[in-house]
Amino acid sequence: MRTEREQAQKSIAENRKAFHDFHILETVEAGLALLGTEVKAIREGNVNLRDSFARVEAGEVWIYNVHINPYSHRGYSQHEPTRRRKLLLHRQEIRKLIGKTVERGMTLVPTRMYFRNGHVKVAIGLAKGKKAHDKRETIKRREADRETRAAVKERRGRS
């Protein structure tokens, strides 16, 4: 049974590549400053988080390379698909992110975009880059899990 919080969230887009390329240590929920046509396009599901990242500049957090396709029923107004967008965070959260990104050399990566109570939210992951051997290890573990699931399923089917 789903909790009330899960029911209130409607997932829009996920950044699977982020989980492949980074170790996500911590996530922070942030609002997003958007234009009207962007929100309508997001409701249509025209969003891509691949290759996107966030940066702290002059005490504000900005998200880059989030591709939001133009709204299909737009009139004269339209938005630029990959423009930088401001993340809405509390001052304490921004200070915490500044400390961790500057001090430890971590990156801010958007992992998921979703609606919560009618507002567009982004889950920003505090991430550390994976080395090539870490990526290979992750792939091996995933394949082993897949094989064990297939073996269990096959065994259940026979009995």
pLDDT band at 1; cut points 50, 70, 90: very low
Question: DSSP assignment of 59-97, as one string?
Answer: TEEEEE--EEPPPTT--S----TT--EEEE--HHHHHHH
Tokens 């096959």 -> residue? 154
pLDDT band at 22; cut points 50, 70, 90: confident
Q: What is the mean pLDDT of residues 1-19?
A: 72
pLDDT band at 87; cut points 50, 70, 90: very high
Reported as type and span, the H/E element at residue 45 is: none
Q: Read off the tokens for 107.
A: 């990156």
Reported as type and span, the H/E element at residue 140 is: helix 132-158
pLDDT of residue 62: 93
**Cβ proximity of 150 and 50 under 8 Å:** no
pTM of the full structure: 0.74
- Classify 4-130 by CATH class: mainly beta
How many C-beta neighbours within 10 Å does residue 141 have? Answer: 10
Residues written for the chain:
159
What's the Cα-to-Cα distance from 142 to each of 13, 24, 65, 84, 100, rounded to whole Å? 22, 17, 28, 34, 30
Q: Read off the tokens for 130.
A: 């994976």
User: Which residues make Cβ contacts (< 8 Å) with residue 2, sequence separation at least 6?
Assistant: none
What's the Cα-to-Cα distance from 56 to each of 12, 61, 96, 138, rounded to whole Å? 24, 4, 11, 30
**Cβ proximity of 47 and 63 under 8 Å:** no
pLDDT at residue 125 is higher than 60: yes
